[in-house]
């Protein structure tokens, strides 16, 4: 079945089709083009997608959206970015799917994936979601444009690092359910304080469809602020969390030997017991939000519980593997994709719960924290000590404050970059160790993870 025909694309974008064609997918990255895809030739300051048209069609593209001359099957428009948004709007208009929008300072991508798994579990193929972390001004419309018309559910992640960004994205997504996972210091270089971050995240509620539901973290210090932001737009507000006052709450949790957590949750007068496969109380909180959202769209809660028990870690966001070390192995926890103070503390607590010969942390600097960066980094010293970490590799110049705070408390080394971090880790890594690797994506710790997975020393 086709996702779009050339005539549908032309109608949606007010463009002109050069030929009849049909596509089964959409992308704006020529390296990701597969057979049957629509390639959207975006233009920007850094690059021009029209330069990669031949490459895209060599990889199997069935058509393109262009604003310049093109020798291949295409729809020509005045502005390709505007056309991508128009296609997203058309995708949203033609579907009867229940739509969930997810934002938050931490846990967006993991929660989006958990929601997808929970909604797709009863009927594989019924749910659609944004892939990777496609949550910005290009990723959100791309994810919408990829949604099949016959989907029953759509789950879309929305991110921001400036006020006003979510206000636009949520009008594209038009969610029936809008969820905020948590509010924490992230991108603080662009906000005066954490309350301003909460306000920016609260913009998601403005896009709610009539009769929509807002899902809000009860345990957040900004709960009332988020509720106030939701009230003008939501027909129903549901809170989730570990506190007894939450609408969806955990009434019992028990950590299992596998690292998973057995949870009994209460949703109003109902109770559901399930196993949360991913370790850590932050994941229990995320799971409660997932259940609230599944319930809000009329999904199957029992099947959602099964899906949460089967959920694996995402690459760069909690994936685990055993790395070869000498004649044995060491556990690696891959959190290399992103980092902020809240997620650092949560994952250090997870490391602290691991039964291992030694606990080692490779921590990359947290970026975009503004004037408070030194204090945020230094404040990680206590969580490191409390987690029983024996060795720490600190990566990047912003880690200088944490190095000073750790002096005399934990063995550590402070290095300039990911390459030096790899060298330092290899000198101390031993069989039976558990290693947490976490930092902002720009630090490049994913390369260290890849080398450990490949067993290269």
107 belongs to an annotated ligand binding site: yes
Please check whether residue 156 is in contact with residue 196, taking contact to mean a CB–CB distance below 8 angstroms: no
Please say whether the beta carbons of 51 and 65 come within 8 A: no
440 is in an annotated binding site: no
| Owner of token pair 């992308």 | 27
Sequence-ordered list of residues with C-beta below 8 angstroms from that of 230, at least 6 positions apart, any chain: 178, 202, 205, 208, 214, 216, 237
CA distances from 370 to 79, 160, 373, 375, 377 (A): 35, 16, 6, 10, 12
The response to whether 44 counts as a known ligand-binding position is no
Tell me whether residue 408 is annotated as binding.
Answer: no
* 110: nearest Cα among 175, 157, 177: 157
* Residue 110 in marked binding region: yes
CA-based nearest residue to 99, from 124, 129, 125: 129
Instruction: Give the bridge partners for 180, in sequence order.
Output: 103
Structure tokens at 250: 């955990």
Beta pairing partners, 437: 334, 362
Question: Which residues, 6+ apart, have CB-to-CB distance to 352 below 8 Å?
Answer: 359, 386, 387, 388, 389
105 marked ligand binding residue:
yes
Contacts of residue 121, defined as CB under 8 A and 6 or more positions apart, other chains included, come to: 300, 303, 304, 306, 307
Sign of CA dihedral 51, 52, 58, 64: negative
State the Cα–Cα distance between residues 71 and 417, nearest whole angstrom: 45
Q: Is 106 annotated as a binding residue?
A: yes
Compute the distance between CA of residue 308 and CA of residue 287 in angstroms, rounded to an integer: 7
For 1, 38, 85, the CA distances from 59, given in Å and listed in that order, are 20, 11, 24
> What tokens does 334 get?
């891959």
Binding residues for ATP: 104-110
Binding residues: 104-110
């Amino acid at each position: 079945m086709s996702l779009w025909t050339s005539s549908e694309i032309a109608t949606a974008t007010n463009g002109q089709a050069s030929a009849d064609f049909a596509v089964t997918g959409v992308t704006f990255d020529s390296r990701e083009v597969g057979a049957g895809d629509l390639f959207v030739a975006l233009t920007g300051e850094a690059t021009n997608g029209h330069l990669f048209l031949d490459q895209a069609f060599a990889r199997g593209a069935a058509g393109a959206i262009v604003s310049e001359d093109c020798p291949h099957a295409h729809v020509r428009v005045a502005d390709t970015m505007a056309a991508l948004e128009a296609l997203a709007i058309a995708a949203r208009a033609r579907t009867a799917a229940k739509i969930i929008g997810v934002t938050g300072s931490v846990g967006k991508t993991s929660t989006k994936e958990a929601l997808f798994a929970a909604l797709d579990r009863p009927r594989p193929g019924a749910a659609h979601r944004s892939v990777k972390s496609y949550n910005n001004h290009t990723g959100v419309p791309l994810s919408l444009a990829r949604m099949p018309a016959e989907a029953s559910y759509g789950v879309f992640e929305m991110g921001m690092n400036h006020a006003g960004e979510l206000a636009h994205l949520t009008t594209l997504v038009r969610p029936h359910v809008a969820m905020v996972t948590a509010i924490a210091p992230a991108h603080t270089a662009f906000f005066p304080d954490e309350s301003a971050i909460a306000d920016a995240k609260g913009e998601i509620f403005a896009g709610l469809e009539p009769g929509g539901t807002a899902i809000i973290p009860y345990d957040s210090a900004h709960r009332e602020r988020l509720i106030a932001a939701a009230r003008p737009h939501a027909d129903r507000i549901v809170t989730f969390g570990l506190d007894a006052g939450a609408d969806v709450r955990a009434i019992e949790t028990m950590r299992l030997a596998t690292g998973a957590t057995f949870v009994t949750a209460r949703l109003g007068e109902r109770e559901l017991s399930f196993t949360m496969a991913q370790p850590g109380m932050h994941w229990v909180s995320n799971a409660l939000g997932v259940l609230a959202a599944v319930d809000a769209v009329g999904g199957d809660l029992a099947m959602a519980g099964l899906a949460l028990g089967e959920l694996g870690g995402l690459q760069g966001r909690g994936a685990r593997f055993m790395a070869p070390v000498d004649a044995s192995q060491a556990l690696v926890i891959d959190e290399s994709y992103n980092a902020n103070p809240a997620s650092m503390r949560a994952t250090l607590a997870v490391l602290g719960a691991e039964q291992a010969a030694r606990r080692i942390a490779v921590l990359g600097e947290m970026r975009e924290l503004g004037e408070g960066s030194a204090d945020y980094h230094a404040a990680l010293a206590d969580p490191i000590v409390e987690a029983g970490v024996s060795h720490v590799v600190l990566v990047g110049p912003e880690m200088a404050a944490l190095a000073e705070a750790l002096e005399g408390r934990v063995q550590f080394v402070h290095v300039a970059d990911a390459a030096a971090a790899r060298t330092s880790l290899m000198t101390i890594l031993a069989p039976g160790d558990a290693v947490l690797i976490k930092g902002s994506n720009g630090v490049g710790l994913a390369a260290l993870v890849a080398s450990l997975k490949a067993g290269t020393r």
